[in-house]
């Protein structure tokens, strides 16, 4: 995998009152008091103390650098990373005792670790292909650079037409993710991300343990995929042909993984060149296909 790192030198400063700068953690609690925040979210949050300072809050993004990678984004896209080759399997194989070759790469090296901005800050930065000049100025990015190409690619993907029956939105803040999810599923929801005891950049064999259980109701699932961007952006979408199952795995080395299987019962609208079809040797729309999401994705289900 190839990484692209660039420096953002204080690209934005915003001074607002305490009331307008409610930290994302507190917004989550106010909107979802009965929903536990998954690790994929907590890993992208800054400490609450960073949002306030004696009656006024000054936000400065002074990150030393942001890592980018070309990673699995969402099922209908063609672009993929080799770390996903083992994460596709047929739904008929979703049962205890089944052996699968999987990889759960190290988050410190393989995932985009850009953190969330407060909603007020994120909303002040354009996120549109017709606002590229403004975006580049805000983020101190020059045209023609690798960073420019990545930003442009992400925005284009977010603006692309979804597949039939898909409701989608690229959210640029945690607050926006919560708002989108609750507007579609209500507030009685569960947010889940993959949790791995021991990360590894190597494939190995895992066994599905007993206890596979379907979560949520039909048509009440949203999957949010981490995008490559200078700050945290997620592609969140809801489709009518998605089912989610809780899954626990044990590796041959004793590693344990707690995750969910996201299963697509109708793949007829997917790109025929989708990697899943190549790996599983099946045709679009013929059989249900499942995959295990990377650790920086969030799966939402109704309780």
Residue 202: C-alpha distances to residues 37, 79, 106, 253, 290 (Å): 28, 21, 10, 12, 21
Tell me which residue of 226, 169, 167, 215 sits closest to 188, measured CA to CA.
215
Per the CB < 8 A criterion, the answer to whether 242 and 229 are in contact is no
- Host domain of residue 119: 4-302
Number of helical (H) and strand (E) elements in the chain, helices listed first: 8, 17
Rounded Cα gap, residues 62 and 42, in angstroms: 20
Helix %, strand %, coil % of the chain (to 5)? 25, 25, 50
E strand residue ranges, 150-297 = 167-171, 189-192, 195-196, 204-208, 213-215, 221-226, 234-238, 242-251, 256-264, 289-291
Rounded Cα gap, residues 156 and 45, in angstroms: 26
The pLDDT of residue 78 is 36
Tell me which residue of 162, 194, 167, 195 sits closest to 181, measured CA to CA.
167
- The structure's pTM equals 0.82
Question: Tokens 């699995």 label which residue?
Answer: 72
Rounded Cα gap, residues 134 and 180, in angstroms: 25
As for how many domains the chain has, the answer is 1
The pLDDT of residue 86 is 52
Residue 183: C-alpha distances to residues 186, 187, 231 (Å): 6, 8, 24
Using only the alpha carbons of the chain, give its radius of gyration: 19
The pLDDT of residue 3 is 32
Query: What are the b/e assignments for 60-80, b being 16+ CB within 10 Å?
Result: ebebeebbbbebbbbbbbeeb
The pLDDT of residue 51 is 63
Q: Which residues of the chain register pLDDT less than 70?
A: 1-21, 49-86, 107-112, 219
DSSP code, position 37? P
Task: Please enumerate in sequence order all residues whose Cβ is within 8 A of that of 283, keeping only pairs 6 or more positions apart, or say none.
Answer: 272, 277
């Amino acid at each position: 995998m190839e990484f692209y790192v660039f420096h953002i030198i204080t690209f934005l400063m915003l001074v607002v009152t305490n009331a307008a700068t409610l930290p994302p953690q507190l917004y989550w609690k106010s909107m979802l008091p009965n929903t536990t925040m998954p690790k994929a979210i907590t890993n992208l949050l800054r400490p609450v103390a960073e949002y306030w300072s004696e009656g006024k809050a000054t936000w400065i993004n002074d990150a030393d650098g942001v890592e980018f990678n070309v990673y699995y984004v969402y099922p209908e896209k063609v672009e993929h990373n080799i770390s996903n080759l083992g994460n596709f399997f047929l739904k008929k194989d979703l049962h205890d005792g089944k052996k699968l070759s999987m990889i759960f790469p190290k988050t410190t090296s393989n995932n985009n670790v850009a953190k969330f901005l407060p909603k007020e800050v994120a909303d002040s930065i354009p996120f549109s292909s017709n606002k590229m000049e403004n975006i580049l100025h805000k983020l101190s990015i020059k045209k023609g650079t690798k960073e420019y190409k990545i930003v442009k690619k992400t925005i284009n993907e977010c603006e692309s037409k979804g597949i039939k029956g898909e409701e989608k939105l690229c959210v640029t803040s945690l607050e926006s993710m919560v708002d989108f999810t609750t507007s579609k599923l209500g507030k009685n929801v569960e947010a889940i991300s993959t949790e791995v005891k021991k990360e590894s950049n190597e494939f190995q064999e895992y066994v599905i343990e007993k206890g596979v259980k379907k979560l949520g109701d039909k048509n009440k699932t949203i999957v949010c995929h981490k995008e490559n961007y200078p700050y945290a952006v997620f592609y969140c979408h809801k489709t009518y042909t998605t089912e989610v199952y809780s899954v626990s795995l044990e590796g041959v080395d004793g590693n344990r993984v707690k995750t969910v299987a996201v299963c697509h019962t109708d793949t007829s609208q997917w790109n025929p060149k989708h990697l899943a079809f190549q790996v599983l040797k099946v045709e679009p729309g013929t059989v249900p296909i499942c995959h295990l999401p990377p650790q920086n994705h969030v799966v939402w289900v109704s309780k």
